[in-house]
Amino acid sequence: MKKDRLKKLFDHVDENEMSTVEFQTVWRKAHRRDWKRRLFQSAGPNLAVLMILLILTPLAGYYFINPEHTSHSAQSSSNQKENVYDLSGKVYNFPNQIVIKGETGLPEGAILTIEHLERDGQTLIRKEEVSTTSEGYFQYTTDRLEKDKEYIVKVILYPHLQNESIKNQIGERGESLKKRKNVFWYQRGKGEYSGLKMVGLVNKIEDTTQYVSSEFLRSEKEFKDINQNPR
């Protein structure tokens, strides 16, 4: 009887231990699969976050090291907008002709008044008008008259002569031109207008001159500072 009881007892233990082992094995496998599933599920969002961090980190570092970049770009855009209406150019001295070339930054059709004066800057010889091209450039050609004399030329933008599309940009009375270094004010009726004016010198031409000389157009103040006394 004792042997039979012991056998039954051992059989019972074996059965229970086997069940426990099998249960633990199944439990581990199930949870291992669940762990892998959770790992792969979280890998996608984590990978996306990692990629975003990798992209943003160098950018953040760049702007941290160069904080003035943004303000500089904004300032450059602002300066370009302010300078778009500036008037510039050169006077080319040919033996028998005077050629003026320049640009305004204004659209096609802006009217520029050209004055050809004696060296005193008061006696008017000729006055004509030219229009800017689609790129804002302009050109004017006139006769020199005398080779051994100096002359003065003026390029002037009068707001009241412009068409409506130009006035919409510079202002009815040239309000957008007030901050330009070559601005001048003139009275028309009861209103005051702001225009642009540039002055250039036409040099003498010697008989032995073999090249074409040129002079920059300058603001009235700058021109007077450089050319105090007529030669």
- 135 three-state secondary structure: coil
- CA-to-CA distance for 225 and 223, rounded, in angstroms? 5
Q: Dihedrals φ, ψ of 25, to 5°?
A: -65, -45
Which residue bears the tokens 């943003």? 56
Q: What is the mean pLDDT of residues 149-154?
A: 94
pLDDT given for residue 133 in this prediction: 94
Torsion of CA 39, 44, 45, 48, to 10 degrees: 140
pLDDT band for 81, please (50, 70, 90 cuts): very low
- A 10 A CB-CB count for 185 gives 12
The predicted structure's pLDDT at residue 138:
97
Residue count of the chain, please give it.
231
Which tokens belong to 194? Answer: 């702001």
Q: Is the pLDDT of residue 230 over 60?
A: no
- Which has more confidence, 45 or 113? 113
Greater confidence (78 vs 141) lies with 141
Please give the residue that has the higher pLDDT: either 2 or 173. 173
By mean pLDDT, which of 18-27, 49-58, 98-107, 179-188 is the weakest? Answer: 18-27
pLDDT greater than 90 at residue 22: no
Examine the pLDDT at 41 and tell me if it is beyond 50.
yes
Tell me the HSE value of 100 on the side-chain side, using a 13 A CA sphere.
34
Beta strands in the chain (DSSP E): 88-93, 97-103, 111-118, 124-131, 137-143, 151-157, 183-188, 191-202, 213-216
Better-scored residue on pLDDT, 207 or 162: 162
Considering only residues 20 and 175, tell me which one the structure prediction assigns the higher pLDDT.
175
pLDDT at 31: 52
- Buried b / exposed e over 104-128, threshold 16 CB at 10 Å, is bbbeeebbbbbbbbeeebeeeeeee
Could you tell me the pLDDT band of residue 69, with boundaries at 50, 70 and 90? very low
Query: What is the rounded distance in angstroms from the CA atom of residue 43 to the CA atom of residue 221?
Result: 71
Q: Once rounded to an integer, what is the mean pLDDT over residues 172-190?
A: 91
Which pLDDT score is estimated for 51? 65
Lowest-confidence pick of 111-115, 116-120, 171-175, 209-213: 209-213
Contact 148, 203 (CB under 8 A): no
> Environment class of residue 21 by beta-carbon count within 10 Å: exposed (0-12), middle (13-18) or buried (19+)?
exposed
Q: What is the pTM of this model?
A: 0.63
pLDDT at 64 over 50: no
